[in-house]
Amino acid sequence: MDLPELDDLQFCDGVARSETLTQAARQWGVPRIVCAAPKYLANRNPPRSIHELLEHDCIVIRENDSDYAVWRFGTESEETAVKVPGSMVSNDGDVATQWCVEGHGLLMRSRWHVAPMLRTGALVQLLGDLPTPSANIYAVHDSAQNLTRRAKLAIDHITEGLTGRLDIPAGQ
């Protein structure tokens, strides 16, 4: 099903990027995970702690105004930030993910981006026992207007698709 272009609705991760769309409803709290390709791990021992990340090639995604090469672990009340080494940097998450699949290093990415590759074995999750800040996904719309029928249908369609892809219910 192709969705029509919607100027009254936007989906975003993190912070809303629109001055006209001001009402955000959190749809998913998706964990970020550290992952690597089996090809990379064939030549390197997987990290067993946050500090062992410093001994690895890390692929860095440069997004918006985020801290460069800083990976965060823990909870909001007790967070640990690690500046990871990495010679491969991209502002395109799909490019960085492809580099990871090719075996060039470790990657921290939201689970919804890498879930299909985890299921096929193209990527393996590492440090899974450590909590990471969520990469929240929001449906953003103009708070002065009621949601249009097509915007509600778009939210339902995206919710259904992502819920299946993530194996987690919406709203969590």
Selected from 3.40.50.150, 3.40.190.290, 3.30.450.20, 3.30.70.1710, the CATH number assigned to the domain covering 31-134 reads 3.40.190.290
Q: Residues 133-142: pLDDT tens digits?
A: 777 777 777 6
Interior CA angle at 166 toward 7 and 149, to 5°? Answer: 30
- Could you state, in order of their start, the residue ranges of all structural domains in the chain? 31-134
Position 57 scores a pLDDT of 95
Beta strands in 84-167 (DSSP E): 88-90, 106-110, 124-126, 134-141
The rounded distance, in Å, linking the Cα atoms of 7 and 125 is 37
For the chain, give the mean pLDDT.
79
Q: Over 60: is that where the pLDDT of 19 sits?
A: no
Q: Over 50: is that where the pLDDT of 115 sits?
A: yes
For residues 85-94, average pLDDT: 90
Q: Which residues pair with 63 in a beta bridge?
A: none
Instruction: Give the Cβ contact number of residue 138 at 10 Å.
Output: 19
Position 139 scores a pLDDT of 73
Higher pLDDT, 11 or 128: 128
Q: Are 112 and 28 in contact (CB under 8 A)?
A: yes
